[in-house]
Amino acid sequence: MQFKYPEILWGLLLLLIPIFIHLFQLRRFKKTPFTNVKFLQLVVSESRKSSTLKKWLLLLSRLGLIAAVVISFAQPFFANETALKEKETVFYLDNSYSMDGKNENGSILYNAIQEFIKNTPQDQLFTLFTNTSVFKNITIKDIQNDLLEITPSADQLTINDILLKGNTLFSKLNDVQKNLVLISDFQRRMGGIIPQDSIMEINIFYLNPLNHTINNSSVDSVYIENRTNETIDIAATLTTNTSEESLPVSLYNDQTLIAKTAAKFNKNQKAKVTFSINANEKILGKVTITDNGLEYDNQFYFNIDEKSKIKVLVIGKPANEFLDRIYYEEEFELTSTSLSQLNYSDIENQHLIIINEIDELPSSLATAVKSFHDDGGSFVVIPSTKGDLNSYNQLANFYNTTYYSSTITQKLAISNIKVAHDLFNNVFENNVDNFQFPSVKTYHRMQTIGQVAIEFQNKEPFLVSTDNAHFFATSLSNENSNFQNSPLIVPTFYNMGINSLKLPSLYANIEDNAAIEIPITLQQDENIKVVNETIEFIPLQRALPKKVQLTFMDNPKKAGIYKVMHDQKLLRNISFNENRKESELVYSQIPENNGITSINKYFTERQKDNAINEFWKWFAILAFAFIIMETLLQRFIK
């Protein structure tokens, strides 16, 4: 037995009072001689025995009364150790997209919120956090409406992140029982479940409200499969974990349905559908399906805008036929000029500068090209076989200490392509084998600490390419090399051109910090806004002389097609989609010792652990019984 107010037990010293009274209230009898007292002595003896019994019973009732009253005020109770310990509880509620799976009563997340509101004690203080918000030291009444407004989010914390964040929300007190309750479906990508014995200072409870398998189909990606001057073939990939053999797929341009087909799933539960659209048509695309699983992956946004032509200026020898084939006019604006006729003011209006076999590079041109690159431009140096290396080094030395050292007249093959280099991104699926490599007759030996994209057979650089600054080791003329006839020339120069102006792809993932470049010149204090029907924000932007780099970090939060605006003018569209990782419905196994399937069960067990059985009322009743006992003694015993 334990007492809520044990200091009141000092009141038991009051028991001494009736004891002292009983001892000092003994009556003294005076003896009087009397003849024939045999019968009288028997009466006196019986009276004394009756009086003594009454006094002892009265003493017992008074002692019981005082003891019962004192113990009643001390409030005795029975409880285990955990019930007496101060507690702090932090809840994590997973509001990721996977928790939006449906059952007969609605989504898993909605049902979990309803059960949490129903079972949480009204006066209990707790802290709750989700993937997107934190509610600290509140009661259920304080956040009931906020909980009902929680929506699924693309954000997802790992188990380690949850434990670290939860630990920061506890107080620094050491004599407090700390309970961290995780309410989630515990997808495997969140990381492994951490056993309780590895974290001794916090009690961890895993609550999984998912009690059935979620059947889900999703649109995973959209890409351009083929492109001609007349048509564009748009392909969409789909996955499912159901037994469905086919699924209707629709393609919308803005709000208009423009195509519909059926996706046929193979034995791996994957499918691909293809739509052909007009190459000259502006598309605000959305590929959609309908299923009863997760909602967020039933649509996939993309857009195809009118392209801004990339401006390429060739300085030196006229643009050869191979450049005309690569930089076609539908996508590029190619111009060329001799060094003597160069208008230096034209340089800043370009996206890519190609210095083509100038025998001696003027310092003024090297300075202009360096300034152009600093402002975000790209350039290529193709040296002449008879070029002045010192003049080339005026420019090369600024970039990773690249240095043309000497001229070598020797036939040498190109034999190594760095397929992982950014210049060849998405060009080669594997390392290049059995490739007919070109060769050169004369080349300039280069020294550099920069990234080498292509190497000679002797491991010397043929092409140094870093941060849109590209240096070849030799002339690419047909007299010196057969590089122009090699299949390698097309991806090399094409990607140099494409990378000089970062055009948006069909879409971007919200979490990937997407970046695009807009060919526009901003005045001071001007900025670019991104808007749709419900939101408007200003992305992180870097203004360069002829373009603006936009980086999307914290926004947007929701998938859709957004307009990039400047001064009420539409510059282009950009599409965002949530990462499809939440559609991988693979779950971790929860240990039986701290895994619970019901929020109601958790609170029921906590109420049992915290139960306190109080007995003060019984002692109050006992005190009343002693009062009645004394009354009866005084009334009926003489």
DSSP string, 254-285: TTEEEEEEEEE--TTSEEEEEEEEETTS-EEE
Q: What is the pLDDT of residues 398-414, one digit of tens each?
A: 998 899 999 999 999 99
pLDDT of residue 131: 92
Q: Which residues contact 161 (CB under 8 A, 6 or more apart)?
A: none
The candidate with the shortest Cα–Cα distance to 575, out of 274, 235, 285, is 285
Q: Helical H runs in 481-576?
A: 489-499
Separation of alpha carbons 186 and 203, rounded Å:
18
- State how far the Cα of 309 lies from the Cα of 335, in Å rounded to an integer: 12
Contact 302, 507 (CB under 8 A): yes
Task: Give yes or no for a contact between 66 and 58, defined as CB atoms under 8 angstroms apart.
Answer: no
Distance CA(8)–CA(70), nearest Å, equals 7
Average pLDDT score, the chain: 85
Backbone phi and psi for residue 145, each to the nearest 5 degrees, phi listed first: -70, -35
Torsion of CA 365, 366, 372, 378, to 10 degrees: 110
Residues listed for the chain: 638
Q: Which residue has better confidence, 628 or 290?
A: 290
pLDDT-based confidence at 455, cuts 50/70/90?
very high
Record the tokens describing residue 237, joined without a space.
């990939």
86: which 2 tokens? 């101060």
Q: Is the pLDDT of residue 50 over 70?
A: no
Indicate if the pLDDT at residue 36 is higher than 70.
no
Tens of pLDDT, residue by residue over 133-152, are: 999 999 999 999 999 999 99
Confidence bin at 79 (pLDDT 50/70/90): low
Q: Please give the pLDDT value at position 395.
A: 94
Query: Hey, which bits of 122-245 come out as E strands?
Result: 126-129, 134-138, 177-183, 203-207, 217-227, 231-240
Q: Is the pLDDT of residue 83 over 70?
A: no
Whether the predicted pLDDT of 4 surpasses 80: no
Mean pLDDT of 42-58: 65
Question: Three-class SS of residue 228?
Answer: coil
Looking at the whole model, is its pTM more than 0.75?
Answer: no
Alpha-carbon separation of residue 404 from 27, 58, 301, 323, 439 (angstroms): 130, 119, 48, 25, 19
Amino acid 498: pLDDT: 83
Instruction: Return the pLDDT at 625.
Output: 84
Listed range (74-78, 266-270, 574-578, 587-591) with the worst mean pLDDT: 74-78
What's the mean pLDDT in 269-285? Answer: 90
Rg of the chain over Cα atoms, rounded to whole angstroms, equals 43
Q: How far apart are CA 56 and CA 18, in angstroms?
A: 11
Please answer whether residues 199 and 176 qualify as being in contact, where contact means their C-beta atoms are separated by less than 8 angstroms: no
Which residues have a Cβ under 8 Å from the Cβ of 509 and sit 6 or more positions away? 576, 577, 578, 579
Lateral strand order in the sheet of 76-78: 2-3, 76-78, 613-614
Average pLDDT of the segment spanning 325-337? 87
Statement: residue 342 has pLDDT above 60: yes
The predicted-structure confidence for 459-478, as pLDDT tens digits, reads as follows 999 999 998 999 999 999 98
Give the per-residue pLDDT at 34. Answer: 56
Strand pairing report for 378-382 and 469-472: parallel
CA nearest to 474, candidates 387, 369, 365, 370: 387
Residue 46 clears pLDDT 70, i.e. is over it: no
User: Residue 242 is which amino acid?
Assistant: T
Does the structure show a pLDDT above 60 at 43? no
Percent of the chain whose pLDDT exceeds 90: 43
Residues with Cβ within 8 Å of 486's Cβ and at least 6 positions away in sequence, in order, are 436, 437, 438
Contact 547, 518 (CB under 8 A): yes
* pLDDT confidence tier of residue 319, bands split at 50, 70 and 90: low
Q: Tell me, what's the pLDDT at 631? A: 80
Please compute the mean of the pLDDT values over residues 581-609 and round it to a whole number: 77
Alpha helices in 32-170, H assignment, sequence order: 38-74, 81-84, 108-119, 140-148, 159-169
Mind listing the domains of the chain with CATH numbers? Answer: 2-27+37-79+614-636 (no CATH), 83-213+586-611 (3.40.50.410), 217-304 (2.60.40.10), 310-499 (3.40.50.880), 508-579 (2.60.40)
478-530 residue pLDDT tens? 899 999 888 888 889 998 988 887 666 789 888 888 888 887 888 888 899 99
Q: Which residues on adjacent β-strands are paired with residue 239?
A: 218, 270
Please provide residue 78's backbone torsions phi and psi, each rounded to the nearest 5 degrees.
-115, 135
pLDDT of residue 610: 60
For the chain, how many helices (H) and strands (E)? Answer: 12, 35
The token duo for 162 is 């949850």
Cα separations in angstroms, 327 against 372, 475, 560? 21, 19, 32
526 touches 551 (CB < 8 A): no
Where are the alpha helices (H) located in 268-411, listed in sequence order? Answer: 321-326, 363-374, 389-396
Please say whether the beta carbons of 337 and 314 come within 8 A: yes
